Amino acid sequence: MKIHLSSVFVDDQDKALRFYTDVLGFVKKTEIPLGAHRWLTVVSPEDPDGTELVLEPDEHPAVKPYTEALVADGIPATAFAVDDVRAEFDRLRGLGVRFTQEPLEMGPVVTAVLDDTCGNLIQIVQHD
Amino acid sequence: MADDLFKALADPTRRLILDELAERDGQTLFEICTRLITKHGLGSTRQAISQHLAVLEAADLVRTRRQGRYKFHDLNTAPLELIVTRWLKPRTPEDTP
């Protein structure tokens, strides 16, 4: 068994696709029209056949209170691995991305937490 | 007010929270919990840390601000001056040898 899909709830799929591709650097893998929304996934260009991230509409009434409560306490919805958290922090901040946690050493890892502008906080992690 | 202050400072976890905020202001609850676990090996629950922060906030040692959707915590050292001025009075010249 292995992880095939993981999802984040987003308030707007178009905006989410722009952020996850143009800013974070993922690439679109699947886009299937489904009524008002789409089955929309992105993957890492470093691992195009790896785990896909589903950009899932946040329309269910339970989603907004859940995501808002996580954001208010600074809790990330999910985490992505990077080679160098400080370099990514500088790059993304240069692109106007907001961070709720600056790079922080946590024993063997360095993390930072950013706002994906679509309703979630995302942690980036560097394993040394 | 002073009782709140001393009660807030009496707890070692709360003193660690102040140490971490002294290092960097503007931390979320998540970052504070992360620092306590990874830097100090403290296994307190998020709820416990949240309650410690409420005690620190009641003593005015921590102030919170909402910035859009986030909530950040800042250190406020002003109440500590009460402690300093209570016992550390300026010495008069004849006191000093």
Q: Distance from B76 to chain A by nearest Cα, in Å?
A: 20
What's the pLDDT tens digit per position in A72-82? 999 999 999 99
What's the pLDDT tens digit per position in A22-52? 999 999 999 999 988 999 999 999 999 999 9
The type of residue at B45 is: T
Q: In chain B, which residue's Cα lies nearest the Cα of A109?
A: B38
pLDDT number for residue B96 = 56
Strands B62-67, B70-75: parallel, antiparallel or unpaired by DSSP?
antiparallel
DSSP designation for A83: S
Q: Residue A73 is nearest to which of B30, B38, B39, comparing CB atoms?
A: B30
With a threshold of 0.90, tell me whether the complex ipTM lies above it: no
d(CA B72, CA B89): 35
What percent of chain A lies above the pLDDT cut of 70? 100
User: What are the structural domains, with CATH classification, of chain A?
Assistant: 5-127 (3.10.180.10)
- Strands of A37-43's sheet in order across: A5-10, A52-57, A37-43, A27-34
d(CA B9, CA B2): 11
List residues in chain B touching A: CB distance below 8 A.
24, 27-31, 34-35, 38-39, 46, 69-72
pLDDT beneath 50, residues of chain B:
none
pLDDT number for residue B85 = 87
- Determine the 3-state secondary structure of A9 from DSSP: strand
Q: What value does the mean pLDDT take over residues A77-98?
A: 97
Considering only CA atoms, give the Rg of chain B.
Answer: 16
Check: CB of residue B75 under 8 Å from CB of residue B25. Answer: yes
DSSP state letters, B16-65: HHHHHHHH-SSB-HHHHHHHHHHHH-----HHHHHHHHHHHHHTTSEEEE
DSSP designation for A84: -
Cut 0.90: pTM above it: no
